[in-house]
Amino acid sequence: MCGIYGIVGDKAVEKTLQGIKKLEYRGYDSAGISFFNYEFKLSTDIPKYLKNISCFKNGLNIIREEGDISKLEKIINSLKPKSKLAIGHTRWATHGKPSIANSHPHHSENGDWVVVHNGIIENYIELKQELKGLKFYSETDSEIVAKMLSYNFDGDVLNTIKNVCSRLNGSYALAILYAKNPNKIYVAKSNSPCVVGYSKDIGIVCSDISSIEKIENLYVLPNQTIAEVSAGNINFFDYNLNKIELSKFSGFTIDSSEELGKYSHFMLKEINEIPTAIEKTVVDYNTIEKIRKSLPKKVIKNTKEILIIGCGTAYHAGLMGKRLLEEVCGIKTDVDIASEFRYKNYVPHKNTLAIFVSQSGETADTIKAVKLCKAYGLTTVAITNVKNSSICFEVDYCLYTNAGKEVAVASTKAYNCQVAMFYLMAAYFKAVSIDQDNLIFEEAKQLVDVAKQIKSNKINNICMDIAREIKDSKSLYMIGRTVDYYLSLEASLKLKEISYIHSEAYPAGELKHGTISLIDNDTFVFAFLTQKHLKDKTINNAVEVASRGGKVILFTNQKIENTNFYKIVNLPKLSEFYMPLLLVTYTQLIAYYTSVYLGNNPDKPRSLAKSVTVE
Ligand code: M6R
């Protein structure tokens, strides 16, 4: 999703370009840079880029391009603009299609104000109507900010920014340039993440704490803060323009796991990292002493019910969590999709623990759900993969999966680690209820063994074969019961997001209540069966499909006599309790290879973003 990077200091354009490249993993469809350079004018070199470039007499310039950042980089490299002030943006279209006109940075009519924006200005149509006589060149909600700054300018830059921000509804992180102050980036933030930093000769703004370059003084902006960023100094103000002090952020870590190494795609690399990722996650919480530091025993003791909330894959991990917490500890557990939960009439129960699952820790709906649960008076815990992400500042307690940076848009290793965390949590609840602390250690040992099994299970060839068989399908179904159904939801999401093949997950017993009418001779159906007590029922459902011509590929650890199925994938010996952690790796690899065979880029599927920071 959208990303912001900006530099005050030497080589601002080059560094800003590098900065927005680090944000690429979030997903985007266009990119742009604005910089201050008085000399940079329409020269003979420029005409072929006329549609990409806006040069204003005041020294501000904007270069924008649709598509990959490499296209923007090509223009910049050919023009080599010099500057000590630049802001850049990667845009993931929300209001208006991907196009040069809709790309950021946006500017006021005379170009005195230039703005990049993350988030959504919800009242932009209403605000537009107030700006009588002004023409708008884009379909975005963001252009309004640049126009309003110019329209409402009262001679005082900070006061104007404050006044404009107080009119904006929705969420925003804004980086703003004002042409007459070519040494400063102004930043305003409300409900969209933003960090700023400085050292002797540089000032930086970035939307993503894990992508900012290492800097001496780093600050995470709270909501309703304005920052005036210069090289070597930052001033902070609240929305009454009182100067405020912020504490320096000290938990700075640089993630170096962004190299592809021997792999052709990040997704493949990340699937191969699953065993190590599980081990690293587990080792941080493998004793009662360690886990209770992050989540005190008294919270566990007080909990009577659990509510798990997430989106997409994180929601699917939450379903696995429900199964574990209910099966192991008998605690009633509800699971909800964050964007649904927010608009429901939730009846809060006393002593409910709300657990939020988010790989990125930046998902707007999940963070809004945290705020709602806090307003209900619930205790809140996040399971996230990104240290110091926005969610960590909202919840009461945070548990970190240690999967390492996940670059591919489709989540894989983070899912396995989230599920591993639920195994540990279930053991924690059990340990507290029967007063046996060593259960955590036992569980952690089991999980490390499962990780080893995943590592030794060589499944590339079988997954490639299946991918080759299904790649030309128009539509595909996945069925299972209870935990196998939860698994099928994740398997189906993974396949559709990167292969673009329509796929639906169904509870196996529900198929005959309607959807089975879609099964014909060409339809592949993945049937998942990992739990002994479900054998007869799930097999019956798979046979029903096969009898209607469906090509059933059965993934199972059970001994099956029926040979009517198109294919049976025999899963290795492993306790059925842990089977979902292993089985999901087959489905992740099948999705990956299907995407590759179809000529897609599995790391950057169309229309998707890594962190979904708009609601
Ligand atoms: O960062 P989060 O875990 O909060 O993200 C939630 C979903 O957006 C994410 O899992 C999404 O469904 C992935 N593309 C799935 O691969």
In CATH, what number is assigned to the domain containing residue 440?
3.40.50.10490
Domain boundary among 400, 425, 455: 455
Same domain, 33 and 171: yes
**CB of 359 closer than 6 A to ligand 1?**
yes
Last residue of a domain, one of 246, 273, 294: 246
User: Does 66 share its domain with 206?
Assistant: yes
CATH of the domain at 213: 3.60.20.10
Ligand 1 centroid – CA 409 distance (Å): 8
User: If residue 521 lies in a helix (H) or strand (E), which one and from where to where?
Assistant: none
Using a 6 Å cutoff on CB, does residue 150 contact ligand 1?
no
Q: Which domain holds residue 565?
A: 460-597
Q: Are residues 267 and 380 in the same domain?
A: yes
**Where residue 51 falls among pLDDT bands split at 50, 70, 90?**
confident
Say whether 2 is catalytic: yes
Whether residue 255 is contained in a domain is answered as: no
401 lines ligand 1 (CB under 6 A): no
| Range in 248-257, 363-372, 445-454 the model is least confident about | 248-257
Ligand 1 atom 4, closest CA: 358
* Residue 269: alpha-carbon gap to chain centroid: 18
575 and 492 belong to one structural domain: yes
The answer to whether 369 touches 341, Cβ cutoff 8 Å, is yes
Q: Is residue 607 part of a domain?
A: no
Structure tokens at 43: 């020269």
Same domain? 302 vs 429: yes
The structure tokens listed for 385 are 């993969």
Q: Chain-wide mean pLDDT for the chain?
A: 93
Whole-number Å distance between alpha carbons of 178 and 119: 21
Of the pLDDT bands very low, low, confident and very high (cuts 50, 70, 90), residue 161 is very high
How many whole angstroms from 391 Cα to the centroid of ligand 1? 14
Q: Does residue 91 sit in the same domain as residue 110?
A: yes
**With a 6 A CB cut-off, is 386 part of the ligand 1 pocket?**
no
User: By the 8 A CB rule, do 525 and 515 touch?
Assistant: no
SS (H, E, C) 297-315: HHHHHHCCEEEEEECHHHH
Q: What is the pLDDT of residues 515-567, one digit of tens each?
A: 888 898 889 999 999 999 999 999 999 999 999 899 999 999 999 987 789 99
pLDDT computed for residue 94 by the predictor: 84
Asked if the structure places residue 612 within a domain, the reply is: no
Distance 359 CA to ligand 1 centre (A): 7
Asked if residue 497 is part of any domain, the answer here is yes
Question: Looking at the structure, do residues 297 and 199 belong to the same domain, yes or no?
Answer: no
Which letter, b or e, does each residue of 314-326 get, where b requires 16 or more Cβ atoms within 10 Å of its Cβ? bbbbbbbbbbbbe
In the sheet with 305-310, reading across from the earlier edge strand, the strands are: 332-337, 305-310, 352-358, 379-384, 397-400
End-to-end CA distance of the chain: 12
Same structural domain, 472 and 580: yes
Task: Tell me, yes or no, whether 207 and 329 share the same domain.
Answer: no
The string of pLDDT tens digits covering residues 58-90 is 999 999 999 999 999 999 998 888 999 999 999
Q: Which of ligand 1's atoms lies nearest the C-alpha of 609?
A: 14
Domain C-terminal end among 455, 472, 497: 455
pLDDT tens profile 83-141: 999 999 999 888 889 899 999 999 999 999 999 999 999 999 999 999 888 899 999 99
615 within some domain: no
Query: With 80 as the cut, is the pLDDT of residue 250 above it?
Result: no
Within this chain, do residues 213 and 295 fall inside the same structural domain, yes or no? no
Instruction: Give residue 256's pLDDT band: very low, low, confident or very high (50, 70, 90).
Output: very low
Inter-helix orientation angle 460-470/579-597, to 10°: 50
Domain membership flag for residue 604: no
Residue 463 falls in the annotated catalytic set: no
Q: Does residue 242 lie within any of the structural domains?
A: yes
Helix locations, 153-262, DSSP H? 157-165
- If asked whether residues 394 and 475 sit together in one domain, one would say no
Give yes or no: residues 290 and 428 share one domain. yes
The mean per-residue pLDDT over the stretch 369-392 comes to: 94
Total number of domains constituting the chain: 3
Task: Pick the atom of ligand 1 nearest to 313's CA.
Answer: 10
In a domain, 611, yes or no: no
With a CB cutoff of 8 Å and minimum separation 6, the contacts of 96 are 102, 138, 139, 140
